Amino acid sequence: MVNVAIIGASGYTGVELARILCNHKQIKLTAATSRQYANQPLGQVFPNLRKMTNLVCENLTTDELCASADFFFTAVPHKTAMNIVPDLLAAGKKVVDLSADFRLRDVSVYEQWYQPHSAAEFLKEAVYGLPELYRKEIRTARLIANPGCYPTSIILGLAPLLKAGCIEPQSIIADSKSGTSGAGRSAQVGSLFCEVADGFRAYKVGGTHRHTPEIEQEINAFLPEPVQISFTPHLLPISRGILSTVYAQLKPGIQHADIQHCYDQMYALEPFIRLLPEDTFPATQYVRGSNFCDIGFKVDTRTNRVIILSAIDNIVKGAAGQAVHNMNLMCGFDETAGLESAPFFP
């Protein structure tokens, strides 16, 4: 039994971590921090958790935190994470950080897209927590940089084709659509029900979203020459779910069967990837509440492009679920522990 703490429990990622960990048999959730909701039971802050946990939100010092648990999920904003994680590591703890602070290996790229980094010495050590790509490294890591939601959906869709060299990498266009939970739980007019419901829009158009360098980092890991891609995020009037529609030009001669083979090779044994049959495409409502990534594709012979469709629940596979998957690997648990529930539909 491992004692686990959630630092930053009052956001949507925090509550989802708590939801998943409530049913995890091999860990004990021993602390949940929140400055805003300090001293309030977690089941009061998030009434879905009533009767599921007795945990009370606390505002703890680093020492108190370290006394409370052996394993930590840091679900705080970027910049805050880099101030907490080094102390936890110094105290011998294992950490899955759900912020962006340790995802980019190159500090200059980080500082170009975010702000100065105060703990850059950990960037090389941190393992990018996409188990389908870095399972081996994750098992022995003490610091995991849990991937962003958009990057998870896009990289999983592209990796097999990049690895096998089936596509022209500089032609990649990722058109992604996310549920509103991705915008977080802070009170802002743009996230109000009446602003989002019954509507749809793009945002951060033209390569300006901060997930862009993260996606490119992982794409370029497969390539001899780095490329830059187009990535456009959109806001869906749903709470949970990301669907990425990814376009790429096929290399000469590549056909449907070649692509199918790439996916089969790489993902056949993956517990959380579901490859869809030909001419079947994913939908966010079929992965809701689960850690699955559903992937389908279609070769458009008219234009010689492949269109890859990839669906995840952004706060499970795109955040809390993948974080628990990483913990399972780091702690030697069964990979699917706590993540066995089927997606709920409708």
Separation of CA 227 from chain center: 22
Residues 294-323 that bind a second copy (CB under 8 A): 294, 296, 298-300, 302-303, 305, 307, 309, 311
Q: Which residues, in sequence order, are CB contacts of 172 under 8 Å at separation 6+?
A: 158, 219, 227, 229, 230, 246, 247, 248
What DSSP designation does 41 have?
B
* Cβ closest to a second copy, residue 82 vs residue 339: 339
**Tokens 């989002």 -> residue:** 196
255 binds a second copy (CB under 8 A): no
Please choose, out of 54-62, 69-77, 128-136, 233-241, the segment that lies near a second copy by the rule CB under 8 A.
Answer: 233-241
Instruction: Rule CB under 8 A: say whether 264 interacts with a second copy.
Output: no
Cβ nearer to a second copy, comparing 232 with 322: 232
Number of residues that bind a second copy (CB under 8 A): 85
Order of strands across the sheet that contains 71-74: 57-58, 27-33, 2-7, 71-74, 94-97, 143-145, 127-128
> Smaller CB distance to a second copy: residue 16 or 101?
16
Smallest gap, in angstroms, from Cβ of residue 281 to a second copy? 5
Residues of this chain, 161-220, that bind a second copy according to CB under 8 A: 170, 173, 175, 177, 180-181, 185, 187-189, 191-203, 205-207
3-state secondary structure 151-170: HHHHHHHHHHHHHHCCECHH
Residues 22, 57, 66, 149: which is the catalytic one? 149
Parallel, antiparallel or unpaired: strands 2-7 and 71-74: parallel
- Tokens in use for 190? 């743009």
**Residue bearing tokens 């009037």:** 237
Active-site residue flag, 57: no
- With contacts defined by CB under 8 A, name the span among 12-20, 83-91, 136-144, 324-332 that binds a second copy: 12-20
Asked whether position 281 contacts a second copy by CB under 8 A, the answer is yes
Tell me the catalytic residues. Answer: 149
